[in-house]
């Protein structure tokens, strides 16, 4: 049976949704990932998911130590169903675990901070290699663990007296600027063919009711044809 699962499922999705899926896939990237460490305010969590989805960031890495990540879907507007969320909440030190996994995947860890060694985001070489930008908890920012594990620090230049941005606003500013530069100067920001197929399948599944029954039927048919 030459038909793929993706092709099989497409017949159960209306044409307009299929066009939207195909269109949105072309703007998704994994060259940039967002890491959220120990956020506790629901409206911030929700706003960040919504912003990342709108701008085309696919992977959100959620570190939960003392705080649970609880977005409000009325604010997020269902953004999480189109994102790939990675939750780190089962280890003694979830921060270390998350950063280790990201580094294994080839990400440079750039922590957002007013650290003395911080590089302004407009000077950060985003084109060079995939980067995971870490945003810390409200009020206190990144943890000491992130300070030790980060490969570098980036900051948003500010000229006001407050010198502090809401974390959801900071995420929006950083990723918008990084994506704008990336798309102008690099051809490597788009998903690979395998990643496109995998993500298309995820989105098709989210678009179909009773999709598990359809998949079961598909694989039963494949098994029968093999024998």
Contact 179, 56 (CB under 8 A): yes
Q: Which long-range contacts (CB under 8 A, 24 or more apart) does 89-93 make?
A: 89/62, 89/63, 89/64, 93/65, 93/145
Alpha-carbon dihedral sign for residues 42, 43, 45, 50: positive
Element (H, E) at 71: none
* Structural domain includes residue 111: yes
| Confidence band of 227 (pLDDT split at 50, 70, 90) | low
pTM for the whole structure: 0.92
* Structural domain includes residue 143: yes
* Structural domain includes residue 24: no
Mean pLDDT of 97-109: 97
* Structural domain includes residue 202: no
Contact 134, 37 (CB under 8 A): yes
- Residue 77 belongs to what domain range? 29-190
* Structural domain includes residue 198: no
Can you give the CATH number for the domain in which 37 is found? 3.40.1280.10
Percentages (nearest 5) of helix, strand, coil residues in the chain: 50, 15, 35
Each residue's pLDDT tens digit, 159-174: 888 878 899 999 999 9
Which residues lie closer than 8 Å to 187 by C-beta, 6 or more apart?
none
Q: How many domains does the chain have?
A: 1
Each residue's pLDDT tens digit, 66-89: 888 887 776 766 899 999 999 999
Query: Residue 56: left if φ>0, alpha if ψ -120 to 50, beta else—which one?
Result: left
* Structural domain includes residue 214: no
* Structural domain includes residue 74: yes
* Structural domain includes residue 4: no
């Amino acid at each position: 049976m030459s038909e793929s699962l993706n092709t099989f499922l497409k017949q159960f999705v209306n044409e307009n949704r299929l066009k939207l899926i195909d269109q949105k896939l072309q703007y998704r990237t994994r060259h940039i990932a967002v890491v959220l460490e120990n956020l506790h305010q629901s409206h911030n969590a929700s706003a960040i998911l919504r912003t990342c989805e709108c701008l085309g960031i696919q992977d959100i890495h959620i570190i939960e130590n003392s705080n649970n990540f609880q977005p409000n879907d009325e604010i997020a507007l269902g953004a999480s169903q189109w994102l790939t969320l990675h939750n780190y909440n089962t280890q003694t030190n979830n921060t270390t675990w998350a950063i280790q996994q990201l580094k294994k995947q080839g990400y440079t860890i750039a922590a957002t901070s007013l650290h003395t060694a911080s590089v302004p985001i407009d000077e950060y070489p985003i084109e060079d290699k995939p980067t995971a930008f870490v945003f810390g908890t409200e009020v206190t920012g990144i943890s000491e663990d992130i300070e030790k594990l980060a490969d570098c620090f980036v900051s948003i230049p500010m000229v006001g007296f407050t010198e502090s941005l809401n974390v959801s606003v900071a995420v929006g500013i950083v990723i918008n600027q990084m994506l704008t530069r990336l798309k102008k100067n690099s051809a490597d920001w788009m998903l690979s063919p395998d990643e496109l197929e995998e993500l298309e399948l995820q989105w098709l599944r989210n678009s179909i009711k009773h999709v598990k029954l359809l998949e079961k039927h598909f694989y039963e048919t494949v098994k029968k044809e093999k024998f």
